[in-house]
Amino acid sequence: MNKILNRLKYYGATRILWPLSVKKRVSGKRSSPSGKPPFGPPLQITRKLREIMGFHYFEGRFSEGVKPVAWVTSGAPIEILRALDFFIFYPENHAAMCCVQRLVPELSAVVEEKGFSMDLCSYARCDMGSAISGKTPVGKVPKPDILIACTNICQTVLYWYRSLSEMLGVPLVVIDTPFVYGDVPQHHLKYVKAQLERVADIAEDISGRTLELDRFSHVLRLSADASLLWGEALAASKHRPAPWTAFDQFVHMAPIVSLRGTYECYAYYAELVDELRDRIYQGISAVQTEKYRLLWDNLPVWFKLRDFSTILAEEGFNIVISTYTNAWYQSTAYLNSDEADPFEALTEAYIHIILNMDLNHKLELMENLMKDYSCDGVILHSDKSCKPYSIGQYDLKEKLLEKGFKAFVLEADHGDPRFYTDEQVKNRLQAFFEMFSY
pLDDT in tens, 225-270: 999 999 999 999 999 999 999 999 999 999 999 999 999 999 999 9
Q: Are 44 and 282 in contact (CB under 8 A)?
A: no
Looking at the predicted structure, is the pLDDT value of residue 33 above 70?
A: no
Residue 336 lies in domain: 2-437
* pLDDT at site 34: 63
Give residue 256's pLDDT.
Answer: 97
> Across all residues in the chain, what is the average pLDDT?
94
Domain count, the chain: 1
102: left (phi over 0), alpha (psi -120 to 50) or beta: left
Tens digits of residue pLDDT in 377-423: 999 999 999 999 999 999 999 999 999 999 999 999 999 999 999 99
**pLDDT of residue 1 exceeding 70:** no
Q: What is the pLDDT of residues 315-361, one digit of tens each?
A: 999 999 999 999 999 988 788 767 779 999 999 999 999 999 999 99
Q: CA torsion angle for 12, 226, 254, 21 (degrees, to 10)?
A: -30
Could you give the C-alpha distances from 184 to 228, 266, 351, 414, in angstroms and in order? 23, 30, 9, 31
Q: Which of 100, 16, 103, 52 minimizes the C-alpha distance to 267?
A: 52
Confidence of residue 24 (pLDDT cuts 50, 70, 90): confident
Per-residue pLDDT of 269-288, as tens digits, reads: 999 999 999 999 999 999 99
- Residue 22: predicted pLDDT: 73
pLDDT of 31 reads 62
